Structure 1
Amino acid sequence: MKTPPCALLAEVRTFRQNHPDVRYVDLIALDIPGHFYGKRYPVEMLEKVAAGSPLKLPQNAVLLGVQGGLFKIGDYCFNDGDPDANRRLVPGTLKPVSWESQPLGQMLITSDGTDAPIEFEPREVLARVLQRLQHKGIHPMVAFELEFYLFDKKLADGLPQFPRDPLSDDADDQPNLHIERLSRFGAVLDDMAQTARDQGIDSTVITAELGPGQFEINFSHSDDALRAADWAALFCRSTRGVALKHGYRASFMAKPYLQFPGSGMHVHISLYDGAGNNLLAAHQQQPLRHAVAGCLQLLPHCMPIFAPNHNALRRLGGTVNAATRASWGFEDRDACVRIPESDPRNLRIEHRLASADANPYLVLAAILAGLEHGLETRQEPIAPLNDDRSSGTDFPVEMLDAVRAMQHHRVVRDTLGAEFVDVYCENKRQDHLAFQQEIHAREYRWFL
């Protein structure tokens, strides 16, 4: 996984030649809640890092809560001296930032592939799963789809407002799938897509979704699963920046409106062997059934990953195409695990449960762990929704219940790492408790 210093140094020097006005580069990584943290480096210092100088950041930056605070998790944060940990530059991710007011660059960093990876760093968790699959001769092909909402830049009493149609100055308050909505918001959407491409993200289809100001972006399939998750993470960052530049807010919040559809993260996965054969299509697609069974078995025990906050849990079962139980089906968007129609070469699963604000590294790691478990245990799945509309198994929809279901599940601990599971569950538990510490105005209306 290590890249020779000469290749990284060449990448930095080429960047400097192509962007001589850039003086600083943001070195960024995703923490447990899915926010970027990092440092802003002078570009000349980046050359030293690329040449082999150590790059260290606090280990516990990965553990930040959703509001940026530190929680006591075991001995981390308050009894460990807050140590630094090595990071490395992720090759191919040094790109210009076009949405800031000054010329800037950004580059991903990670602890995976270093001498002492951080066990609970999201990218490292996924890297371990992929390494294990590779040893078994399993090579995933992955594509993400992300839904998001545009809002007016100004909030009304802290609440989001519908975005203004730039042609009519009316609110985009008529939810529909009409192609005209893509035209009306074409300037900002085109800039989002082009900015994504400038970041090295292979984005493809843009769709107007059902909610007011809601859209979806698709990414190409990639045989580099880590890079596919990188794309999803980086797209969220660039899209928020581009929206602000155009006078909007963009949000991947799972359920911003109770009366309209939530925003999901859909993940398409095929599995291939070393010769390029689709493993799911072999033996009359029996491995596909095994993989589906494994996904459904682990799904209730990975809910804190798929729905990582209180608002994400609101999304489940509330409106169209949001599952209420762990289910599967062929060409069925009500299922958690959908099997899109395809030829045997491209046979895949589409995992539809995760919210758009979930951590893409962890979502992909959890799905792959389920697929791996299913291929190994070779159990038959429950009936598909096509045969039985009531088919499905329950999953927890309260955060503390979800944490308990995840923390002590043997297969989840074995496949994702016991240290990660303990740290992640405590982080979610503490975030939930912190969320409950504020009294909402509704409580005074009901109980005062």
Structure 2
Amino acid sequence: MKSHAATLLAEVRTFRQNHPDVRYVDLIALDIPGHFYGKRYPIEMLEKVASGSPLKLPQNAVLLGAQGGLFKIGDYCFNDGDPDANRRLVPGTLKPVNWESQPLGQMLITSDGSDAPIEFEPREVLAKVLERLHHKGIHPVVAFELEFYLFDKKLDNGLPQFARDPLSDDADDQPNLHIERLSRFNDVLDDMAQTAKDQGIDITVITAELGPGQFEINFGHLDDGLRAADWAALFCRSTRGVALKHGYRASFMAKPYLQFPGSGMHVHVSLYDGAGNNLLAAHQQQPLRHAVAGCLELLPHCMPIFSPNHNAFRRLGGTVNAATRACWGFEDRDACVRIPESDPRNLRIEHRLASADANPYLVLAAILVGLEHGLEAKQEPIAPLNEDRASGTDFPVEMLDAVRAMQHQPVLRDKLGAEFVDVYCENKRQDHLAFQQEIHAREYRWFL
């Protein structure tokens, strides 16, 4: 069996043979707000890294705010000397970038699996959750679904404009689910799908969603939760790049239009034992009910993860299929936790609350912790919406309330890591306060 370094080196050399015109590779990782950071490496230096040379980036790059600024979080950023931290290359993620003007490659990097993982790095948080579940004999199978909007490339005084219909050049301003919209926007959608496949992502169903210029793309089910979250992160990056190449903007913003549906990140999760048996389907599906109860119990405390910014809270309620309370149901898209109809082998939950711009590593980690907690606590859930349309428990709908609900929750501090919870909550608190430090024109209209 090849050593880890030999496998990576073979991957880099094969890439160079297949893409001789690529001179640089972007080494990238996702920060807390869900943005990629990293460095552009000459392809020759990448071979050295693959062979074992150190790969170091500032530890505090993970802590950047939504606008890239640094916040004082404990001793991080301003009292720690801004130290470097080791990263490693993620095998199998070296792929060509075809949306840039010049040939380029990209590859994921991470601190998880290194000698000193960064406790608050999103991928490391998920890796620890998955490792703990595997030790308990629980093996998740995961599939993401992501909604997004297409806008015209040009903004109107900073505001998005409807995408132009390529056949009529009119604004695509009619919300619908018509299959013809897929045909009208086929060129850009096909390029998005093919580019995602070139990144190794298993693209399945493409849907024209209800909002004008809104689409959803589904991914295949994976028994590797880290790779599933990698797919979601990489898809967002490639989709934005391909859209610009075609004269559009693609955005995963949670609620770009008040009058139209927001964009969500739906996550399907099933749990299996080592023999491949569906754990949720055992004993007349009693574990499913326990898992649902755990998800609903922790959901109000995970809102800063599921709704990671001010705009994401706008998506909750007021439009179709966006719940305002923690609830569940069978084949019910108004529920936060939906149980799709399936045979026992494929029994799963669909978690529908997260916004499309949430961090996929943290969303999946929070969902899995809810399922894990439910299986351990063995509590019965509240009534499903199918039995009681008023069923549900309240969750915070403003960021500062949500942060307070998350920060001292003992299960989250134990299972996601106390250091991560403290760092994440302070990052969200500071981001929210920074967002408030601008007087909107509406304030002058109302109060001047």
Q: Normalising TM by the smaller chain, what interval?
A: over 0.9
1:307, 1:358 within 8 Å by CA — same for their partners in 2?
yes
Q: Under a length normalisation based on structure 1, what TM-score does the superposition of the two structures give?
A: 0.99
Deviation of the 1:73 alpha carbon: 0.1
Q: What is aligned with 1:82?
A: 82
CA distance in 2, matches of 1:351, 1:2: 39
Deviation of the 1:102 alpha carbon: 0.3
1:271, 1:280 within 8 Å by CA — same for their partners in 2?
yes
Deviation of the 1:2 alpha carbon: 12
Q: Return closer, same or farther for 1:3/1:139 CA change in 2, 3 Å cut-off.
A: farther
SS at match of 1:128: helix
Deviation of the 1:354 alpha carbon: 0.1
Q: What is aligned with 1:414?
A: 414
CA distance in 2, matches of 1:2, 1:253: 43
Deviation of the 1:355 alpha carbon: 0.1
Deviations 1:2-36 (A, max 9, x none): 96100000000000000000000000000000000
CA distance in 2, matches of 1:432, 1:208: 32
Q: What is aligned with 1:430?
A: 430
Deviations 1:177-216 (A, max 9, x none): 0000000000000000000000000111000000000000
SS at match of 1:427: helix
Deviation of the 1:371 alpha carbon: 0.1
Deviations 1:53-111 (A, max 9, x none): 01000000000000000000000000000000000000000000000000000000000
CA distance in 2, matches of 1:46, 1:323: 46
CA distance in 2, matches of 1:378, 1:78: 44
Deviations 1:325-360 (A, max 9, x none): 000000000000000000000000000000000000
1:2, 1:113 within 8 Å by CA — same for their partners in 2?
no
SS at match of 2:229: helix
Deviations 1:205-232 (A, max 9, x none): 0000000000000000000110000000
CA distance in 1, matches of 2:192, 2:3: 30
CA distance in 2, matches of 1:251, 1:39: 24
Deviation of the 1:274 alpha carbon: 0.1
CA distance in 2, matches of 1:332, 1:418: 34
CA distance in 2, matches of 1:72, 1:91: 34
CA distance in 1, matches of 2:412, 2:8: 35
1:28, 1:39 within 8 Å by CA — same for their partners in 2?
yes
Deviations 1:284-336 (A, max 9, x none): 00000000000000000000000000000000012000001000000000000
Percent identical residues: 92
Q: Return closer, same or farther for 1:165/1:3 CA change in 2, 3 Å cut-off.
A: farther
* Aligned positions, number: 448
CA distance in 1, matches of 2:103, 2:341: 45
CA distance in 2, matches of 1:415, 1:169: 51
Q: What is aligned with 2:276?
A: 276
Q: What is aligned with 1:68?
A: 68
SS at match of 1:417: helix
SS at match of 2:87: strand
CA distance in 2, matches of 1:3, 1:20: 25
Q: Under a length normalisation based on structure 2, what TM-score does the superposition of the two structures give?
A: 0.99
CA distance in 2, matches of 1:300, 1:328: 14
Deviations 1:152-173 (A, max 9, x none): 0000111000000000001101
- In structure 1, the gaps of 5 or more residues are none
1:3, 1:91 within 8 Å by CA — same for their partners in 2?
no
CA distance in 2, matches of 1:260, 1:246: 24
Q: Return closer, same or farther for 1:145/1:359 CA change in 2, 3 Å cut-off.
A: same
Q: Return closer, same or farther for 1:168/1:304 CA change in 2, 3 Å cut-off.
A: same
